[in-house]
């Protein structure tokens, strides 16, 4: 089996979007503290407490993120979070240039990509290091890309930026268009440059968290079984 991990490493202090809280990790019980309770050869146990936004790191947005009556993360069908996936690379665009439908269609035609109903499409928009200099200023998806997704009847999209919408687009067209149709959005996908294939099987299941607007995911590309 050949698997590429497309997930951000979560650690204490990580900030994956400027307005979101940082990840907090702290000791709950240490080995040294618990050791006296146990008998040799047991050296005690350790456990941690962690706190984070439900949109920290590589994560999935639930429709409830933007719709008061939308599905919360545990209500999303599990088969909607996995399936055949295609990566579309538009990272040669200028960082201040939005990804447009025309760009997407050009890549699909040039690379002879086959996009089918219920596929998952991952967009590579950023050529640099995740969360590096200029990352949060890089423009992401124009509203026309959401229309392309709807026309192709995809069940989910992902991208390597922290926001599927262009940050200063406060109408949030992409989120509203897709989440309003229960088309899932995954943000902060990484390592798309490490893929050796344009098509693969994708798994990005969220945690089973009641009532939340999203969840961190472990995003995996299975290139060979």
Cα 150 from Cα 43, distance rounded (Å): 56
Read off the tokens for 6: 């497309």
b/e sequence 11-30, b meaning 16+ C-beta within 10 Å: eeebebbeeeeebeeeeeee
Read off the tokens for 13: 């202090």
Strand partners, 51: 24
pTM (predicted TM-score): 0.96
Cα 61 from Cα 183, distance rounded (Å): 10
Task: Assign domain 59-224 to a CATH class.
Answer: alpha beta
Give the start-to-end residue ranges of the domains of the chain.
Answer: 59-224
Q: How confident is the model over 75-90, as pLDDT tens digits?
A: 999 999 999 999 999 9
CB of 156 closer than 8 Å to CB of 185: yes
Q: How confident is the model over 145-175, as pLDDT tens digits?
A: 999 999 999 999 999 999 999 999 999 999 9
Quick one: DSSP state of residue 143? H
């Amino acid at each position: 089996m050949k698997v590429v991990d497309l997930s951000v490493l979560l650690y204490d202090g990580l900030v994956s979007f400027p307005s979101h809280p940082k990840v907090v990790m702290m000791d709950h019980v240490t080995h040294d503290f618990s050791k006296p309770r146990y008998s040799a050869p047991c050296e005690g146990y350790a456990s941690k407490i962690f706190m984070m936004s439900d949109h920290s790191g590589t994560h999935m947005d639930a429709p409830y993120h933007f719709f008061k009556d939308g599905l919360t993360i545990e209500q999303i069908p599990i088969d909607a979070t996995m399936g055949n996936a295609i990566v579309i690379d538009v990272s040669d665009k200028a960082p201040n240039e939005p990804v447009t439908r025309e760009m997407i269609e050009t890549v699909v035609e040039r690379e002879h990509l086959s996009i089918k109903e219920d596929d998952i499409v991952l967009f590579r928009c950023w050529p640099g290091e995740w969360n590096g200099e200029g990352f949060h200023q890089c423009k992401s998806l124009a509203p026309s890309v959401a229309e392309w997704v709807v026309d192709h009847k995809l069940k989910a999209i992902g991208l390597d930026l922290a926001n599927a919408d262009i940050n200063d687009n406060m109408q949030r067209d992409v989120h509203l268009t897709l989440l309003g149709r229960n088309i899932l959005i995954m943000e902060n996908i990484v390592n798309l440059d490490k893929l050796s294939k344009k098509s693969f099987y994708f798994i990005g299941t969220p945690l089973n968290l009641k009532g939340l607007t999203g969840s961190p995911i472990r995003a995996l590309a299975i290139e060979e079984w």
